[in-house]
Structures are given as C-alpha cells and as structure tokens.
Amino acid sequence: MSVAKVIAEHMPQLRRYARAVSGSQATGDAAVEGLLQRLLAEPTLFDPGADAREESFRVFAQVWNAGAPPAAMRPALLPDLRVEAIGPVARQVFLLTAVEGFTPGQTARILDLSKEKIAQLIEEAGRAISAQVASKVAIIEDEPMIAMDLESIVSSLGHQVVGPARTHSEAVALAQAEHPGLVLADIRLADGSSGLEAVNEILENCAAPVIFITAYPESLLTGERPEPTFLISKPFRAETVKALVSQALFFDEQARPAQRRTA
C-alpha cells in the first residue's frame, strides 16, 4: 500500500489530533497538509514496516516539531496569556495517550523521547490541566445512561454540570438560561433533530467552545466545511472525555481571557 493511501486511512484521526494540538481547525488542517507535502517530497520518512497508525503520527510529530512551523501552522496566541500553562510537548503527550489511545511506549517512539521523559510530561500536563478554572458545562444528550456517564466524568473534574437537554428546543433553552462555559453535544437528538443545528443556534448568543459526540467521526472530519475542533467518538472512554474537556477549556481560556475573568 502506498504512503498516500496509508495516510488517507488515518486522516480523520490525524485531523482530530492536529486540531487539538493547535487549538483550531484551520491550523490543524494546515499542519496535516504540511505533512502530506513533506511526504510527497520525502517518502522515505515513512517506515512501511512499522505500525501504520503509529507511524503516521510519528511522521506528523516530526514535521510539526521540526523547528518553527510556518505562520499558517501556528496557534494564534495573545502575548499576555498563560501560554506556558501546559507546554507544547506535554500537550502532545497528553493528547497521544489520553485521546488517541497510544501507550507511553508508543508515544515515546512517536515523539522520539525516552519513556522516563514521557512519564514526566504526562504528570506535567495533568498538573497544568487541573489548575485551569472550573466552568459550567451543558450536556446535550438524549440517552439517559450516556448523559449520566458524562455528568459523572465532567463533575469529577470540578466542573458544574447543567442539563441534560434531549431535544433541539431543550438545548437552546438550557443554553439561554444557564450561559455555559462549555457544551457537550450529541449529533442526533431525541426529536430527530441535529445536534449540529442546535449548537449553531446556541452559538449565536453564546461563545462557548463545543465538544461534539458521535459514533461516526469520519463523517464530520472531511476538511470540506467548517467542522468541530473537538470530537468524541462513541463509545467513549472516560479518559478521552476528560482530556478533551480540559483541552477545550484550555484553548478557550487562551482565546477569550477577558470574558472569562469578568464572567
């Protein structure tokens, strides 16, 4: 199988990871495009004998971490923000292990670091994420058991949970009443409506970050239209939810510090 086909097979996961590392769809997609261009120029960077998914992430990390990335591939960070709250390498370790499901050993190979350094960075990331300001989290989910699981997971991080909302109208009313700092939204709601449409209406008056929950992430991560930066696949792991909740609030803290401090 050609390198191009291997990368294409893992493109949804690479897009998700790149967007979470950078904090935006545009920056993450630019990074993946940079990876493809680099592989076209230097196909020998990819080891065909290695695990294909692990190798895809390893080459991406090599491209992303190689010196200063082009301006289009840098997160837009304001100078007065706590950008060092979680360092760039610790953020990658955190996402690779908690979200993408790689073992510390695999993560060590992907980032070309020792296992001891990976353990240190996991601890560093955990401390930094835990230090972030707690927020009010709205849950839009029509399955009671899933909603309960999400509430338990989010509450364990120190956040206040509101909801759940089961329909489009309930979701909009909940957001208007509670003004959440973060929204967790299923794609398909109890009344047959779209969670995407509900969130779009919510965002007209609420600038909170959103994490979408779906059993079909590949249907959303096409790169052909505005897409969610943060996405949870069903069935989900508690570690994945915790990681993305922390990441979403971390990047929102950087993007809108004045609003959060005065809220």
What would the pLDDT profile of 20-52 be if each residue is shown by its tens digit?
888 778 888 888 888 888 888 888 999 988 999
Domain that holds residue 218: 132-262
Q: Measure the CA–CA gap between 11 and 13, rounded to whole angstroms.
A: 6
Residues 120, 140: one domain? Answer: no
Task: Give the pair of three-digit tokens for residue 199.
Answer: 């969130």
Determine contact, residues 210/195, Cβ cutoff 8 Å: no
3-state secondary structure 101-146: CCCHHHHHHHHCCCHHHHHHHHHHHHHHHHCCCCCEEEEECCCHHH
Residues 206, 190: one domain? Answer: yes
Backbone phi, then psi, for 30, in 5-degree steps?
A: -65, -35
Determine contact, residues 102/19, Cβ cutoff 8 Å: no
Task: Give the pair of three-digit tokens for residue 118.
Answer: 């990976």
- pLDDT of residue 141 exceeding 90: yes
Determine contact, residues 215/233, Cβ cutoff 8 Å: yes
Give 100's contacts (C-beta < 8 A, 6+ positions apart): 13, 17, 57
Residues 71, 149: one domain? Answer: no
Q: Which of 107, 129, 151 is the last residue of a domain?
A: 129
pLDDT digits (tens, 9 = 90+) for 83-123: 345 678 888 988 898 778 898 899 999 999 999 999 888 87
Query: Quick check: pTM over 0.95?
Result: no
The SS3 call for residue 69 is coil
Residues 157, 210: one domain? Answer: yes
Residues 92, 179: one domain? Answer: no
How large is the angle between the packed helices 52-65 and 88-98, nearest 10 degrees?
170
pLDDT band for 148, please (50, 70, 90 cuts). very high
- How many domains does the chain contain in total? 2
Q: Which of 97, 129, 161 is the last residue of a domain?
A: 129
Residues 97, 41: one domain? Answer: yes
Residues 111, 141: one domain? Answer: no
Cα-only R_g, the chain: 18
Q: Average of pLDDT values for 70-93?
A: 54
Q: Which of 100, 129, 158 is the last residue of a domain?
A: 129
